[in-house]
Amino acid sequence: MEPSSQRYSWRMVEVGQPLERIDDAAREPDAGEVLIEIAGCGLCHTDLGFLDGDVPTKAGLPIILGHEIAGTVVAAGPGEEHWIGAEVLVPAVIPCQECAMCRAGRGNVCTSQLMPGNDIDGGFATHVTLPARGLAAVPALPDGYELADMCVIADAVTTPLQAVRRANVTEGDFVVVVGTGGVGGYAVQVAAASGAIVIALDIDDAHLTPLLDHGAAGTLNVRGLDTRAIRGAVRDHAASHGAGNTGWKIFECSGTPQGQETAYSLLGSAGTLAIVGFTMEKVTIRLSNLMAFDAAAFGSWGCPPQRYPEAIELVTSGKVALLPFTRKVPMADLPQVLEAAHGGSDPRRTILIP
């Protein structure tokens, strides 16, 4: 093992205060646990929310944030030795695998779930000790990829994958994704990989334009448009791609009241609405539209670990591209990265490299 001076963790001690660099928070793994040498950890909007005090971490403070972790297992507790040397992805939510929800295949809503960087220490560090359950082995990577690049799968790819599978998106479906920064951009790619005709809606061309090369059949910048104009424009897209006005599958990924109102207004006969983004704000909608249109709406939270191999395969097969949508920065520069993140305009997701 490396000398401890080369191992460190960034600890969040207080809301709104700079992270504190400490020697190493990772302990020797107990039974059922592994010690992971981190290759890369994604910086998520959720982390910024914790840091700003918008949302408290479930474990309280201090805590090491970071829940999009890829790395190599370098030590393991009793029973998990077979992981040593493996390159792995840590699920953003680690279910208990024993409760009724876990047994029903819905571990993403396990009430005993552990989220790194929220319930337990996470990946803003060189090393982290975590439960081995739910780990996904990373196979041979495509050209140009390194292990660190894969970390964003843990949240940004698996979350929309779960929603797209639950909506039964198949060949020829007409899909609308509302809000295409981060998660929504991958929703576009995953739905397109499933054979759907996908239209991407956002208020920022920087989010929309790259998607024309990665899954979007069309884009629509909705800034300044009212719902009637948006609906008309989306119908035009549907018509130009030979899709009708029924059976649309709509994914709300913006997590904003405006996005939610837009998404709901697009719901028509036999439509499906998936709520993937989160906001505390409320919207006023006519719920009876669901009845009148024989439509369905559901919420999608995270992704159970058993779907991770499929998410990894989408990337290794080249169906979902990560590299145009991420940028890598040194983990050592995390405080400066966080400073810049608040006023940042780079639409790419940040991966921290120890």
In whole angstroms, the minimum distance from the beta carbon of 113 to Zn ion comes to 6
Task: Judge contact between 18 and 37, C-beta under 8 A.
Answer: no
Burial (Cβ within 10 Å: 0-12, 13-18, ≥19) of residue 112: middle
| Total residues at interface with Zn ion (CB under 5 A) | 8
Q: Is 290 in the site for Zn ion (CB under 5 A)?
A: no
Query: Which is closer to Zn ion, CB of 121 or CB of 173?
Result: 121
Q: Is 109 in the site for Zn ion (CB under 5 A)?
A: no
Q: Is 255 in the site for Zn ion (CB under 5 A)?
A: no
Query: Which is closer to Zn ion, CB of 63 or CB of 110?
Result: 110
How many CB atoms within 10 Å of residue 68? Answer: 30
Query: Which is closer to Zn ion, CB of 41 or CB of 138?
Result: 41
Query: Which is closer to Zn ion, CB of 156 or CB of 203?
Result: 156
Among 22, 59, 96, 141, binds Zn ion (CB under 5 A): 96
Q: Is 102 in the site for Zn ion (CB under 5 A)?
A: yes
Q: Is 99 in the site for Zn ion (CB under 5 A)?
A: yes
**Cα separation values, 232 from 93, 190, 204, 266, Å:** 39, 25, 20, 10
The one-letter code for the residue type at 332 is: A
In whole angstroms, the minimum distance from the beta carbon of 96 to Zn ion comes to 3
Query: Which is closer to Zn ion, CB of 149 or CB of 155?
Result: 155
Query: Which is closer to Zn ion, CB of 45 or CB of 319?
Result: 45
In whole angstroms, the minimum distance from the beta carbon of 175 to Zn ion comes to 22
In whole angstroms, the minimum distance from the beta carbon of 112 to Zn ion comes to 5
Per-residue x/- marks for Zn ion, 13-52, CB under 5 A? -------------------------------x-x------
State yes or no: cis peptide before 354, omega within 30 of 0. Answer: no
Phi, psi of 250 (to 5 degrees): -115, 130
Q: How far is CA 1 from the centre of its chain?
A: 32
| Distance, CA of 7 to CA of 35 (rounded, Å) | 13
Phi, psi of 351 (to 5 degrees): -115, 125
Among 91, 95, 117, 122, binds Zn ion (CB under 5 A): 95
| Distance, CA of 23 to CA of 44 (rounded, Å) | 24
| Distance, CA of 99 to CA of 101 (rounded, Å) | 6
Task: Point out which span in 48-56, 152-160, 261-269, 310-318 binds Zn ion (CB under 5 A).
Answer: 152-160
Burial (Cβ within 10 Å: 0-12, 13-18, ≥19) of residue 5: exposed
Query: Which is closer to Zn ion, CB of 173 or CB of 252?
Result: 252
Query: Which is closer to Zn ion, CB of 96 or CB of 329?
Result: 96
Burial (Cβ within 10 Å: 0-12, 13-18, ≥19) of residue 217: buried
Residues of this chain that bind Zn ion (CB under 5 A): 44, 46, 95-96, 99, 102, 110, 155
